[in-house]
Structures are given as C-alpha cells and as structure tokens.
Amino acid sequence: GQNIDQPTEMTATEGAIVQINCTYQTSGFNGLFWYQQHAGEAPTFLSYNVLDGLEEKGRFSSFLSRSKGYSYLLLKELQMKDSASYLCAVSYGYNTDKLIFGTGTRLQVFP
Amino acid sequence: AAGVIQSPRHLIKEKRETATLKCYPIPRHDTVYWYQQGPGQDPQFLISFYEKMQSDKGSIPDRFSAQQFSDYHSELNMSSLELGDSALYFCASSSPTGGSYEQYFGPGTRLTVT
C-alpha cells in the first residue's frame, strides 16, 4: 500500500523557523515534492527532491533520505503569509510521475 | 511566465448531467495529470497523458473519460454526475522529456453537483 504521513497541524511565530516532517512508504519512488496550498486554491510548487540531501531555495529548504523514507521542509524567517497547508507528495510510476499526497500539514503563523 | 490554464473555473451541474473540464498545459509541457480534491482531502490522482496517449490511470470512475489533443490540451469528460463528484479538479503539467519533472498545477475547476 501507499502511505505518506505528516503532522496534521503546526503553529509557529513570525520570524521563527519551522520544520515539517514527512515519512513515506510507497510501492515506487521517482521523487518527492513539497507544495504549498491555501484553502480553495491550487497547490503551488515549492521543491522537488530526487537524490538524498538538502535542496535550498530562498527561505525554503527540503531534505530527503531515500533509505529512511523521510523528508522535511524547512521554512525560515516565517511570515504571516506562510500560513497555509503544506503537502508532501511522492511521485511514482513507470510511464508517469503520478503523485500521491500526504494529508497535508496546516501551518499557522502568529505575530 | 505562462501557467496552466483551466476552464471553467466554476461549474454547477445537476445530478445525472454531464460536464467537460478543459486544461491547457504550460507551453512545451507534454505531460498532463488530472487530480480530484474533495473538501478537506488531499488531491487524488485520476489520469495522466503523455504525448497524447494515456500514460496512467488512477481512481477515475468509469463515468469519466479524458483525452489529450494534438495541441496538448486535455479535456476531462464527466457523465451521469453524482453529488459525490462535487470537488476541485486540478490539472497539472510537466515536461519529463525536457528534463522538467516538476508538476505545476492549474487554478482548478470547482464543480458543484446539486
């Protein structure tokens, strides 16, 4: 079966750093995505990890350990607008990179 | 930069009616994915196309069909609509052959079945 786990909710303070963890067990693995989604809107691409290690992109960084089935998204210098759901998704498949999503982590940033 | 375009953005249909959702991928993206997101749920993969051929199929009901056209736009056809079909339908595109595996999502079509 396919299983992707993330914490349901997290809270943090403006200007702080927050780490959102994701563990996965899937029948295949091509890569791991992180998306940001505001309620009722489309998921916005944040990062894509294929190899083990850390990918840094501005205030956002994403880490992957394929052997451990583990990833995290690190958000630095939090801003109020970062309040959203963060979706961890694994792409898998032979002829395609269909995504299977975790249930998402709702992050609330307080002043 | 050009993004994925979906139309219509909102659609209201009655039970047993049909609906057609359209998706225009990012230029030069050859792969299209359709996802369904119910209220409070994560997106669920429905179907994907690569170079106008179906490349994979997920939890798509038999009442639904889809295709990708020569200009790479895709349409999702939904028949005999049920109340449970009310959801956000997202289209995403990527270009694996171009080395771009990132999937970019369109704004979605909100389908309400009454």
The closest CB to that of A96, out of B56, B104, B110, belongs to B56
Provide the residue type at B12 as one letter. Answer: I
Residues of A in contact with B90 (CB under 8 A): 42-43
Best interface-test mutation with B: which of A27, A97, A100, A105 has the largest number of B CBs within 10 A?
A97
Q: Is the pLDDT of residue B101 over 90?
A: no
Q: Which two tokens stand for residue A42?
A: 């489309």
Q: Render pLDDT for A1-28 as a digit per residue (tens, 0 to 9).
A: 789 999 999 999 999 999 999 999 988 8
Q: Are residues A45 and B102, on separate chains, in Cβ contact within 8 Å?
A: yes
Q: What is the DSSP annotation of A73-95?
A: EEE-S--GGG-EEEEEEEEE-SS
| pLDDT band, residue A96 (cuts 50/70/90) | confident
pLDDT of residue B96: 76
Residues of A in contact with B88 (CB under 8 A): 40
Percentage of chain B surpassing pLDDT 90? 85
Provide the residue type at B88 as one letter. Answer: L
Q: Which of A35, A59, A57 is nearest to B92 (CA)?
A: A35
